[in-house]
Amino acid sequence: MNDIVELWKSLKIQWRVIYALMMREIITRYGRENLGFLWVFLEPALFTGGIAFLWSYVSFRFYERAEFSLAAFVLTGWIAGKLWMITAGKTMAGVEANTALFYHRNIKPIDLMISRIILELCGVTGAFIVVSLFFIFIEVITPPVNYSYLTLGWYLMAWFAFNLAIFIASLDIMTDLVRKVWPIFSLTLFISSGTFYLVQWLPDSVKPYALLLPTVHNIEMIRYGYWGPVFTPYFDASYSFLFNLFFMLIALTLQRISIKKLEID
pLDDT tens for 139-156 read: 777 888 899 999 999 999
The values of phi and psi at residue 197, to 5°, are -155, 160
pLDDT at residue number 67: 58
CB atoms within 10 A of CB 31: 12
Query: Cα separation of 28 and 115, whole Å?
Result: 14
- Mean pLDDT estimate for the chain: 80
Query: Cα separation of 160 and 154, whole Å?
Result: 10
The model's confidence at residue 167, banded by pLDDT at 50, 70 and 90, is: very high
When comparing pLDDT for 79 and 237, which is higher?
237
Specify whether the CB–CB gap between 30 and 36 falls below 8 A.
yes
- How large is the average pLDDT for residues 169-179? 86
Domain ranges of the chain: 2-264
- How large is the average pLDDT for residues 54-80? 65
pLDDT tens for 228-255 read: 888 888 999 999 999 999 999 999 999 8
In one letter, which amino acid is 67?
E
Roughly how many angstroms between the first and final C-alpha of the chain, as a whole number? 38
Q: Does this model's pTM top 0.75?
A: yes
Query: Cα separation of 213 and 215, whole Å?
Result: 5
Query: Cα separation of 112 and 165, whole Å?
Result: 11
Sign of CA dihedral 60, 62, 68, 73: negative
